[in-house]
Structure 1
Amino acid sequence: MADSYDLVVIGGGPGGYTAAIRAAQLGLKVACVEKRPNKALGGVCLNVGCIPSKALLDSSEMYEVTTHKLARHGIKVGSVALDLDTMLKRKDKVVSELTGGVGFLFKKYGVTPVFGSAKLLTGKQVEVTAADGAKGVLEAKNVLLATGSESTELPFMKFDGKYIVSSTEALNFNPVPKHLIVVGGGYIGLELSSVWKRLGAKVTVIEFLPRILAISDGEVANEVHKLLVKQGFEFHLDTKVTGATVKGDSVTVTAQTKDGKELSIQGDRVLVAVGRRPYTAGLGLDNVGVKYDPKSGRVEVDGHFQTSVPGIFAIGDLITGPMLAHKASEEGVVFAETLAGMKPHVNYDAIPSVIYIWPEVASVGLTEEQVKEKGIEYRTGKFKFSATGRAKAMDEQDGFVKVLADAKTDRVLGVHILGPRASDLIAECVTIMEYKGSAEDIARCTHAHPTLSEAVGEAARMAWAGKPLNS
């Protein structure tokens, strides 16, 4: 007889493991199926995404600070050498500790981990095939699909795992590439190329669209472009990649500009970062009748994450919305609490996004372009970090905070931050937007002095009152 559960979660990433833990906390009997061969929980985010990339970004930033910035602070250092092996081992240790932490939480709250590939069967049964081929069936009152996403592969530029790679392999280049060619000017490509640029690689980014960071606020994206060029990045915008040829230890990428000019760029590694798509391979969606968009791969759900099949739900990268770990986690919590009879919600208007280049980019709400498209009358408040005492003391003066507020109600419509520790500064703005607050609300919050957060307060004051105090 098959094992029976109140909930079987398929996928042990941020959405899946969070849903499993929260459901178990609320008294449900839960199993979570994970297919990674090393039995590591945490999904793409913890294993080959958010966490290892941030570990390398922090390590490479320390290297950059040591080699290029310490002298300005009056700190003289001798010969500085890169120990890439140690850096990569540290990254792997961070990953191991965090994935192990998820396993500890499963044990603490009574979630049963099941390792293998899951396939939906009729009657809300889940067949699990272990690495050794052994099969088992889990009976479920409810099934949650949380299998995340995978890197999009270009048909004319297939991943080979060494020369033409996805973000996964780009976490483990060794040695540092001499010339890294990046196809795609989105956050994944810019974050990973920032790592290798700081460690000594030449970086060339090829982007099909006329600007990088296409979904970001335009003013912010333009300023990021300027700062990255200043850091030594080379960009080819409005340029379509047409192919790549590997010969020996080099790769030649061919491309065509918007005006028809043919380009040929030679490097030793190519990172293809043109987006991600929902991962549904082998799930058996067609077998049980779960509806999804065959073009995008997105699973169709209602407002409570219910698919077209009663008792089968989906969250995270599988459904509409930004492919962000914290979005999936929030959906996992809300799903579990709804299943337990509570009435939570996800406010999709207040989900922040962060790009971990340097200076960082963080945003929440509408971009200025979106505000204009909606025809909303608005006010803008912008304040440069260079006008704050803390940023000057840190020698981190690039960037600004931009607050968009409704001209009639003063309600905050969006906040966009380009600057040091933007990833932390955005939380205040998320809170204000969650409670439908105003620019005046931000401005009237007391911001400690001297801090970077003063720039947030001043930008809000400018959006509300028309003038900041310190500029």
Structure 2
Amino acid sequence: MEHYNFIVIGSGPAGRRAAIQAAKLGKKVLVVERGCRVGGVSVHTGTIPSKTLRETALNLSGWRERGFYGRSYRVKQDLTAQDLRARLDMTLNHEIEVLEHQFARNQVTTLRGDARFKDRNTIEVEGEQGESFEFSADSILLAVGTVPFRPDYVPFDDKQIFDSDGILTLDHLPRSLTVIGAGVIGIEYATIFSSLDVHVTLIEPRETMLDFIDQELIGDFTHQLKDRGMVLRFGKKAEKISKLDNGMCEIQMEGGRHIRSEMVLFAAGRMGATSSLNLEACGLESDARGRIRVDPTTFATDVPGIYAAGDVIGFPSLASTSMEQGRIAACHALGMRAHEPPKFFPYGIYSVPEISTVGMTEEEVMERGIAYECGVARFRETSRGHIMGLNTGMLKMIFSLKTRRLLGCHIVGEGATELIHIGQAVLNLKGTLEYFVENTFNYPTLAEAYKIAALDAWNRMPVE
């Protein structure tokens, strides 16, 4: 049995960052990956594919130019699934090559196979050809990610009825699509296909969506979706999904409504990929959704020497936060000092339009009883917005009346996930309204919206 200082199960964002951190500390590291190539869900079916699909859709459809040339404008008249797939394959191959090079350069050993615990310090790996290996380790990190939730009443076939992994394999663009689930994944795919002029219906059993986002942004976002023809069916759940003889799918809704579309995407949640790990052998338990409980500072589980990071531990389930979780977990596992995870981190939703947020929402500020003022800027108020043909998009900042510090920054619109980092830096450095008012921003840029929003708040705040 070969012994390692650190074994990582899973090579997604948390696993890769943890393994490389441990290797840079001079430790002997093994990464076990069950997929055909390294990268995990993030590279193969999650973050990178969905964002690549989004970028390809916006470029080939001419979406970004329609503010100038009208809704009928298209860069490529007859878009196909193959057009979307071509760019995706190139991007994935590049990501995998970079990751394989990082592992090789840092002397991280990788092994393809299914891992399961034998005891708290030992794992068994079933290899590609059915062969079995055993390894022991001082510390083990679980970074196995998640798999789509697939309830029994949904007849998945990966031809007409997909989950969020299978949707990447579709062989043609449908004329109509129903998306069940208005979480982050459902919203992203619903808006991407809508930008390709596919008629999209979005179903969500709750009355609201994305409740952790500032509700003023959600109001603006919802208006944009309805304005371009998306149908939102909230407050009723889908009870039955069936395929009809005419090639269509039918969704029977609670309350009697029937919805028909050519394809269906079921994106109502994901589950931790822990079912095959034999957690009982090491004394760990997962919750009903396969997630593992950890200490939020060290990412240690209830079993000494075993850590978990990434989507398998639940919210926020972001590639960016997973990377930091993995790195911090590796440091703690190997007895090294590590900073605490930052209190405020940016959350990006790669829908069309993008949404990004950092800090407290207006609802959270009110709940805490903090005296505050808001400033709002519309992208159409900036020169850069006019140059780009933007008719929509907004930036909102929330400031404390007592300290004048920035409490939250929220953006919906083109480039939101890039712009948010200005707000993130000021927030974490405890900056105030005066930073935005007194500093100069490049002209013309969308970042000017920060100064416009700050002046909007300043005009209504008491003079010191």
**Which TM-score applies when normalising by structure 2?**
0.93
| Residue pair 2:158, 2:169 contacting (<8 A) in 1 also | no
Matching of residue 300 in structure 1 with residue 297 in structure 2: no
Q: Paired residue for 1:366?
A: 360
Name the aligned partner's letter for residue 15 of structure 1: A
1:52-451 aligned within 5 A:
52-65=49-62, 69=66, 72=69, 80-248=77-245, 249-256=247-254, 261-292=255-286, 294-302=287-295, 303-451=297-445
**Deviation sequence 1:424-453 (CA, Å, 0-9, x none):** 001111222222333333443421111000
- The residue identity in structure 2 corresponding to 1:406 is S
Which amino acid in 2 is paired with 1:337? C
- When the two chains are superposed, the root-mean-square deviation of aligned CA atoms in Å is 2.2
| 3-state secondary structure, aligned to 2:426 | helix
Q: Equivalents in 1 of 2:152, 2:367: separation in Å?
A: 34
Q: Provide, for residues 291-337 of structure 1, a one-character-per-residue CA deviation record: whole Å limited to 9, x for no partner.
A: 43x32433122231111111001111122431111110011122223
SS of 1:350's partner is coil
Q: Is 1:13 aligned to 2:12, yes or no?
A: yes
Residue 24 of structure 1 is matched in structure 2 by 23
Letter in 2 for 1:231: R
The residue number in structure 1 matching 2:39 is 42
Contact 1:70 1:76 (8 Å CA) reproduced? no
- CA positional deviation for 1:406: 2.2
* Letter of the structure 2 residue corresponding to residue 172 of structure 1: T
Aligned residue for 1:262, secondary structure, equals coil
**Quick one: distance in 1 between partners of 2:75 and 2:405?**
53
1:67–1:80 Cα contact (<8 Å) kept: no
Structure 1 residues 287 and 405: CA distance shift in structure 2, 3 A: same
Question: Which whole-Å CA distance do the structure 1 matches of 2:99 and 2:402 have between them?
Answer: 46
**Structure 2 counterpart of 1:216, one-letter code:** I
Deviation, 1:76, is 8.9
- The residue identity in structure 1 corresponding to 2:457 is A
Q: In the TM superposition, what is the alpha-carbon distance from 1:277 to its structure 2 partner?
A: 2.3
The one-letter amino acid paired with 1:450 is P
Distance 1:239 1:66, change over 3 A: closer
What SS does the aligned partner of 2:317 have? Answer: coil
Counterpart-to-counterpart distance in 1, 2:439 and 2:333:
37
CA distance in 2, matches of 1:78, 1:98: 27
Letter in 1 for 2:93: S
Aligned-pair CA distance for 1:175: 1.0
Change (3 A) 1:157 1:79: closer
Moved over 4 A (4+): 75-79
Deviation at 1:72, TM superposition (A): 2.8
- TM (norm. structure 1) is 0.92
Q: Counterparts of 1:157 and 1:216 in 2: how far apart (Å)?
A: 29
Q: Is the 8 A contact 1:3 1:138 kept in 2?
A: yes
Q: State the distance in 1 between where 2:240 and 2:403 align.
A: 51
